[in-house]
Amino acid sequence: MTARAYQNPSSHTFVSEEWDSALLTQYDPLLVWASPLVCNRKYEGDISKQGDLVHINSLVTPTVADYKLPDGMTFQRPETVDQKLEVSEAKYIQLLVEDAERAQVAGTIDSPINQRMIQALARETDTFVGNVIASGATALPSAKATAQNAPQVLYGTILDMMLALDDNDVPTGRYVVVSPRVKRYLIEHPAIANAGAYGEGGVTANGLIARLAGFTVVSTTAMPKGVDIVAGHSDFSTHASQFTGFRTLQSERYRADVIDNLHLYGAKILRYPGMDTKKADSTFDESKPTKGIVKASVEWVLAA
């Protein structure tokens, strides 16, 4: 008897671009920390493998001088400070399907198991980026919330964050990320519950709680440990991300196709001349927190 190789003939017409597009469409709305609201994507360079470096240029604020005759004006050249972001993370998703072409026609990426995989991938990214942002944020005094004062205390903490960012001339378009527990009590405050009068409503829209006091307030379960509220601006953190694209392979063990995709990413707190401490070699002291992002914890004193 002639022995035959037990393998799948593999895919010849699988169009990976269709799944690439579907993945991004479903992945991006799941992000909070890694979303454009919280992190900018203003970097230069290509991402092809883990360990790659991309570059971010921070503009040095020009000096404002007095205009006097006969001295006239002294011209300045625009200056930038180069900051490097390492693509430190590499995560993958892999699917085993009997026939890649049939799976694509059937829209298998929309199946419940694949939806869970995409959700898990987004959570991994968000957890990583959230930890990077929180570790580089300036800590404010913790808030003490009781059953009687929780909504007012939490809202007051956000206003304190607004003041801290105002004092450092952080631009408008700010965000506040809160834990689900903070959200539960915060929406009882009239400024949030009646956001139509105080700002913009949207308690149930895509994780958005409200827009008010110059903040877009969002909530996530991927909060860094020991942190309940973070406020800042996307100018102070960068997220670099690249999916390598879906590919198909023959399974060595099963009569099936393997479809996989690799996600390469990293994140960094950005520093600015005049706001952050520069070292003798003109790089920034990254051991010190940024003034453009603030954080606070909450001490919960609530009845069981």
pLDDT at 106 over 90: no
HEC assignment per residue over the chain:
CCCCCCCCCCCCCCCHHHHHHHHHHHHHHHCCCCCCCCCECCCECCCCCCCCEEEEEEECCCCCCCCECCCECCCCCCCEEEEEEECCEEEEEEEEECCHHHHHHCCHHHCHHHHHHHHHHHHHHHHHHHHHHHHCEEECCCEEEECCCHHHHHHHHHHHHHHHHHHCCCCCCEEEEECHHHHHHHCCCHHHHCHHHHCECCCCECCEEEEECCEEEEECCCCCCCCCEEEECHHHEEEEEEECCCEEEECCCCCCEEEEEEEEEEEEECCCECCECECCCCCECCCCCEEEEEEECEEEECCC
Q: Which residue has the higher pLDDT, 284 or 291?
A: 291
Q: Tell me the pLDDT tens digit for each residue of 19-36.
A: 666 776 788 888 999 999
- Inside any domain, residue 42: yes
- Split at pLDDT 50, 70, 90, the class of 143 is very high
pLDDT at 2 over 90: no
- Inside any domain, residue 228: yes
Number of domains in the chain: 1
- Split at pLDDT 50, 70, 90, the class of 246 is confident
Position 281 scores a pLDDT of 79
- Inside any domain, residue 129: yes
pLDDT at 102 over 70: no
Are the C-beta atoms of 213 and 158 separated by less than 8 Å? yes
Distance CA 34, CA 243 (A): 14
pLDDT at 63 over 80: no
pTM, 2 dp: 0.82
Q: Tell me the pLDDT tens digit for each residue of 41-57.
A: 999 999 999 999 999 98
Position 130 scores a pLDDT of 97
Least confident of 60-64, 167-171, 234-238: 60-64
- Inside any domain, residue 123: yes
- Inside any domain, residue 155: yes
Of 253, 255, 259, 261, the residue nearest 103 (C-alpha): 259
Position 27 scores a pLDDT of 84
Range of the structural domain that residue 225 is part of? 16-60+79-301
- Split at pLDDT 50, 70, 90, the class of 153 is very high
- Inside any domain, residue 159: yes
- Inside any domain, residue 277: yes
Residues 3, 4, 6, 7, Cα dihedral to 10°: 160
Are the C-beta atoms of 268 and 237 separated by less than 8 Å? yes
- Inside any domain, residue 213: yes
Query: Once rounded to an integer, what is the mean pLDDT over residues 153-160?
Result: 95
pLDDT at 235 over 80: yes
Query: Once rounded to an integer, what is the mean pLDDT over residues 194-211?
Result: 54
Work out the mean pLDDT of the chain and round it to a whole number.
81
pLDDT at 201 over 60: no
pLDDT at 208 over 80: no
Q: How far is CA 226 from CA 122, 159, 182, 199, 261, in A?
A: 21, 20, 13, 29, 33
Position 202 scores a pLDDT of 47
- Split at pLDDT 50, 70, 90, the class of 276 is confident
Calculate what percentage of the chain has a pLDDT beyond 90: 48
Position 244 scores a pLDDT of 87
